[in-house]
């Protein structure tokens, strides 16, 4: 059940959350203060308003629809979002994720509904039932909050901010901003301190998360699997080259991510060339670093693991997602029955042989990983293309089949795709069995309940327990078995 929905009906409980600055409810409950007309996050450190002046909302868009404008101190645009297991209606969650991801820049609500195989009327009804607002209101709030973040954290021209956030015209942006926030965009910059940065070289934005966050562990996980030339994870920083579609064009550049543990935020720095797809970029970072996770709720359920072995489960464990689903899926295929290090070497060879060169300020980021479309366009037999770099014929055919399926859209690896359906499609491809499908579900679909029970590390952590017993004991870990798997792997290190 959505924790915010369970508490919103109890105003006393909501007020207690704000008095305690409870981080567990950050992004799940917002307070509108009638005496100021401002809405805040639970973590806000301004003077606590009087109980009778407060009203409570389950999301930022609902607070704005009620006439409140965002606090300049706690910045609601930085609040974590909802995790995949929280939405009672998966359709509404999938629509919200897609709106946040691409801002509907290139399609209408009717197109979005069609892509989800429902009518726009049904989508509006389900969305309203789940979030208490319409999809259009949600989209408008997402755009305004993205614009507010760009105005606060960058020195981009206001006209570029408006365009990047998805507004069709500067006039429309100015009118909406003044209507909702009671000040023009230029005035916002006079009320906040904008960090000086060389806009021509890099841009930095912030994304919030709920503590505890085991940053060192997720960075270590990514570092071991990082594809040389494409990504790196050293000295508290994750970096990678980036290639994304923006409409009919491809935008390319680089990004780096650091942890600001004092503020429970990640700092996302990227090249200005990626600005046309900034919504997509930030959505992918949220998935990669599992920023919408409810760590304490998950630990409450998985703490039973400690009955098997003390310290087997710890709070704050995250499920590493992926930035590029095709890249991650290829990496999973390459990793079948070989070491992590060997799979990493093969992925590097594939990137160097078939990816395009990248120019970045970092000497260890030199190439873009080839897309599914690039692999599908390779001439001749795929075995003849991949064989010289050490990839076996079976794995080459698996990667080609995977590329064709993803390029055509017949397989969709995204956070809100149906996991059972997509895993069945994956296992119908040559060379992809249950372990690979479960691993791709964990990272490519961000599915919280995937469980590769045949994995060597899982078996070792559970003292070589028979597979039937492993599946039986894992029933107590539902619906968070992906997080249980991460804890099992962590225990081995």
Q: What is the pLDDT of residue 118?
A: 77
From the list 14, 26, 40, 449, the catalytic residue is: 40
61-116: per-residue pLDDT in tens? Answer: 999 999 999 999 999 998 887 664 444 456 777 788 778 776 665 567 788 887 77
DSSP state of 365: B
Q: What is the pLDDT of residue 396?
A: 98
Contact in structure between 87 and 93 (CB atoms under 8 Å): yes
Q: Say which residue the tokens 């990272």 belong to.
A: 443
**Can 322 be counted among the known catalytic residues?**
no
Asked whether residue 58 carries a pLDDT value surpassing 60, the answer given is yes
From the list 22, 86, 120, 455, the catalytic residue is: 455
355-365: per-residue pLDDT in tens? Answer: 999 999 999 99
Q: What is the pLDDT of residue 472?
A: 95
Q: What is the pLDDT of residue 86?
A: 43
CA distances to 43, 64, 78, 142, 193 from 145, rounded to whole Å, are 18, 11, 9, 5, 17
Question: Residue 306 and residue 311: Cα distance in Å, rounded?
Answer: 6
Q: Where are the domains of the chain?
A: 3-71
Structural tokens at position 235 = 């000295």
At 197, the pLDDT band (50, 70, 90 cuts) reads: very low
**Can 455 be counted among the known catalytic residues?**
yes
Question: Residue 7 and residue 104: Cα distance in Å, rounded?
Answer: 31
Asked whether residue 193 carries a pLDDT value surpassing 80, the answer given is no
CA dihedral 323, 107, 165, 135 (to 10 degrees): -90
Q: What is the pLDDT of residue 321?
A: 95
Asked whether residue 253 carries a pLDDT value surpassing 80, the answer given is yes
Whole-number mean pLDDT of the chain? 90
Percent of the chain's residues with pLDDT above 90: 68
Opening angle at CA 294, ends 290 and 298, nearest 5: 105
* Omega prior to 212 cis, within 30 of 0: yes
pTM of the model: 0.85
β-bridge mates for residue 431, sequence order:
none
The mean pLDDT of 178-198, rounded to a whole number, is 72
Asked whether residue 469 carries a pLDDT value surpassing 80, the answer given is yes
Question: Residue 164 and residue 246: Cα distance in Å, rounded?
Answer: 11
CA distances to 62, 100, 295, 376 from 291, rounded to whole Å, are 21, 14, 10, 33
Asked whether residue 316 carries a pLDDT value surpassing 90, the answer given is yes
139-166: per-residue pLDDT in tens? Answer: 899 899 999 999 998 888 999 999 989 8
What angle do helix axes 278-288 and 90-102 make, rounded to 10 degrees? 130
Which CATH superfamily is 3-71 part of? DNA Methylphosphotriester Repair Domain (3.40.10.10)
Chain centroid, CA 88 distance in Å: 19
For residue 136, which of 147, 148, 153, 123 has the smallest C-alpha distance?
123
The mean pLDDT of 318-341, rounded to a whole number, is 96
The mean pLDDT of 247-271, rounded to a whole number, is 94
Neighbours of 235 (CB within 10 A): 7
């Amino acid at each position: 059940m959505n924790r915010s929905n369970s508490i919103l009906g109890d105003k006393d409980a909501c007020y207690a959350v704000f008095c305690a600055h409870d981080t567990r409810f950050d992004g799940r409950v917002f307070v509108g203060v009638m005496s100021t007309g401002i809405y805040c996050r639970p973590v806000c450190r301004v003077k606590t308003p009087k109980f009778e002046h407060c009203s409570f909302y389950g999301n930022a868009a609902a607070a704005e629809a009620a006439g409140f404008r965002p606090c300049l101190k706690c910045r609601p645009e930085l609040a974590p979002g909802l995790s995949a297991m929280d939405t009672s209606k998966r359709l509404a969650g999938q629509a919200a994720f897609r709106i946040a991801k691409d801002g509907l820049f290139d399609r209408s609500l009717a197109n979005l509904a069609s892509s989800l195989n429902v009518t726009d009327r049904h989508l509006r009804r389900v969305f309203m039932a789940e979030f208490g607002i319409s999809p259009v209101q949600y989209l408008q709030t997402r755009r305004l909050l993205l614009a507010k973040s760009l105005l606060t954290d960058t020195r981009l021209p206001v006209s570029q901010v408006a365009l990047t956030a998805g507004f069709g015209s500067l006039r429309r942006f100015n009118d909406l901003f003044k209507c909702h926030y009671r000040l023009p965009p230029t005035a916002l910059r006079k009320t906040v301190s904008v960090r000086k940065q060389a806009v021509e070289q890099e841009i930095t934005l912030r994304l919030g998360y709920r503590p505890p966050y085991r940053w060192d562990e997720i960075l270590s996980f990514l570092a071991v699997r990082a594809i040389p030339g494409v990504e790196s994870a050293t000295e508290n920083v994750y970096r990678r080259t980036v290639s994304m579609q923006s409409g009919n064009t491809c935008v390319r550049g680089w990004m780096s991510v650091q942890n600001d543990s004092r503020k429970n935020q990640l700092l996302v720095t990227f090249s200005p060339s990626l600005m046309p797809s900034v919504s997509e970029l930030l959505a992918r970072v949220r998935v990669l670093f599992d920023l919408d996770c409810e760590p304490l709720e998950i630990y409450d359920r998985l703490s039973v693991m400690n009955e098997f072995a003390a310290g087997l489960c710890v709070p704050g464990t995250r499920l590493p997602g992926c930035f590029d689903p095709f890249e991650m899926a290829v990496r999973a295929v390459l990793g079948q029955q070989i070491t992590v290090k060997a799979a990493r070497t093969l992925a590097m060879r594939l990137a160097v042989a078939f990816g395009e060169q990248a120019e970045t300020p970092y000497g260890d980021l030199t190439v873009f990983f080839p897309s599914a479309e690039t692999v599908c366009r390779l001439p001749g037999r795929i075995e003849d293309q991949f064989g010289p770099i050490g990839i076996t014929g079976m794995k080459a055919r698996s990667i080609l089949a995977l590329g064709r399926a993803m390029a055509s859209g017949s397989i969709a690896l995204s956070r809100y795709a149906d996991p059972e359906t997509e895993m069945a499609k994956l296992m119908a491809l040559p060379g992809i069995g249950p372990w690979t499908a479960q691993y791709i579900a964990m990272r490519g679909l961000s599915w919280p309940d995937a469980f590769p029970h045949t994995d060597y590390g899982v078996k070792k952590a559970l003292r070589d327990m028979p597979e039937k017993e492993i599946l039986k004991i894992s029933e107590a870990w539902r619906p968070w078995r992906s997080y249980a798997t991460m804890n099992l792997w962590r225990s081995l290190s």
